[in-house]
Amino acid sequence: MLLVSASEDGSIKVWDLLTMLDEQSRFEAKTPYLYNFNQHTLPVTDIACFHGAIALSSSEDRTCKIWSLSEGRMLRSISFPAIIDSVEIDPRSHIFYAGGRDGKIYVTAMGVDVSSQGRDDLSILGILDDHSKAVTSLTSSTDGLLLVSGSEDGNVRVWDTRSQQVTRKFKHSQGS
């Protein structure tokens, strides 16, 4: 069982919980963690894991990075036009959602398309645009058909991921 942590110094650490809980294993380990990723240049803003094999991180450096937790290496780095504050991996396909400080949610390809030759503009498949301030939280339904976004504008949106349209809107009322 793995624990993935991220910090303001831009680092991401992957911990083996069983080693951490076993005193003998912890004593014999060279480091208290399995991997230390330092490829982000500014604070990490969010991290999401997929089936214990892949981690996705976002940072104030305007990138999202995809990590192999089994190999201990970065698989891909994708640049965005805005700082990304939240990420969510779609459970049914090879895409993820990146919530930007510009109020947009970027629908992004996880895999490397050979035809794209690493171009970030071909990785962004679509934009969900209904928030007026930073998108600070994202979560999807277990079947991946709905995406819920929260924003500094005080609104929560429920999106149909197939049509990429808002199906419900909720306004957070102050002081309630």
Q: What is the pLDDT of residues 75-102, one digit of tens each?
A: 999 999 999 999 999 998 789 999 999 9
pLDDT of 19 over the 90 cut: no
Question: How many Å apart are CA 156 and CA 171, to the nearest integer?
Answer: 6
**Domains along the sequence of the chain with CATH:** 2-131 (2.130.10.10)
* Token pair recorded at residue 97: 């959602």
Read off the pLDDT of residues 37-68 as tens digits, 9 standing for 90 and up: 999 999 999 999 998 899 999 999 999 999 99
Question: How many Å apart are CA 151 and CA 70, to the nearest integer?
Answer: 33
Read off the pLDDT of residues 118-171 as tens digits, 9 standing for 90 and up: 455 568 999 999 999 999 999 999 999 999 999 999 999 999 999 999 999 999
* CB-based contact 137:99 (threshold 8 Å): yes
Task: Give the Cα-Cα-Cα angle 79, 117, 76 (nearest 5 degrees).
Answer: 45
Closest CA to 164 of 124, 137, 132, 134: 124
Task: Give the Cα-Cα-Cα angle 123, 40, 52 (nearest 5 degrees).
Answer: 70
Closest CA to 124 of 133, 136, 116, 114: 116
* CB-based contact 87:46 (threshold 8 Å): yes
β-strand partners of 74:
67
| End-to-end CA separation in angstroms for the chain | 39
Who has greater pLDDT, 116 or 34? 34
pTM over 0.85: yes
Question: How many Å apart are CA 123 and CA 140, to the nearest integer?
Answer: 20
Amino acid at 126: G
Question: How many Å apart are CA 40 and CA 55, to the nearest integer?
Answer: 14
User: Phi/psi at 175 (nearest 5 deg)?
Assistant: 80, 5
Q: What confidence tier does 32 reach under pLDDT thresholds 50, 70, 90?
A: confident
